[in-house]
Every structure is written in C-alpha cells, then in structure tokens.
Amino acid sequence: DELGYLPMSRQARYNLFQLVNALYEYRSVIITTNKEFTAWGEFFHDDNVVVPIVDRLIHHSHIFIMGGESYRLRQKRQG
C-alpha cells in the first residue's frame, strides 16, 4: 500500500526483487502505489534494480490506473 512512500534501503530493494522474482510466473502479485513506473527510480535509487522488477511485474499483467480522491481523506471530512 505504501510502495514509494519512502526511499528503499539497499537491503529492502534486494528483498523486494527476490520476492518478485520468486513469485514471477508462479503466483499473482498485487501492488498499489501512487507512483508511475517511470518514477520508481526515485525511491529505489537504482535503475538496475527497478528495470528487472518492473519487467517481471508487468509481464502477463493487468494494470489498472485509478484516480480520484483519497478514501482516507474523504472519511476524515465526513467524520
């Protein structure tokens, strides 16, 4: 839910790559983020890691681009 909220450490990038790589072609993966793939380098700080992760995520994928107001902000205004 918060991918891209904070920069990722080197170990976190490695762990995410290992997870995506292990699941690739075997399991479904759902990732939500408010960052476009082209902006992932900002929080990964390493395009050499971003490219293979994105490559595996988008292969055989269905990408849903959703917009609108934040659910949390809407709840806060109503409550």
List, for residues 21-64, the tens digit of each pLDDT value.
999 999 998 888 878 888 888 878 877 888 999 999 999 999 98
Q: What are the residue ranges spanned by the domains of the chain?
A: 10-78
DSSP states along the chain: --TTSSPPPHHHHHHHHHHHHHHTTTS------SS-GGGHHHHH--HHHHHHHHHHHHTT-------SS-HHHHHHHH-
Instruction: Output the pTM of the full model.
Output: 0.73
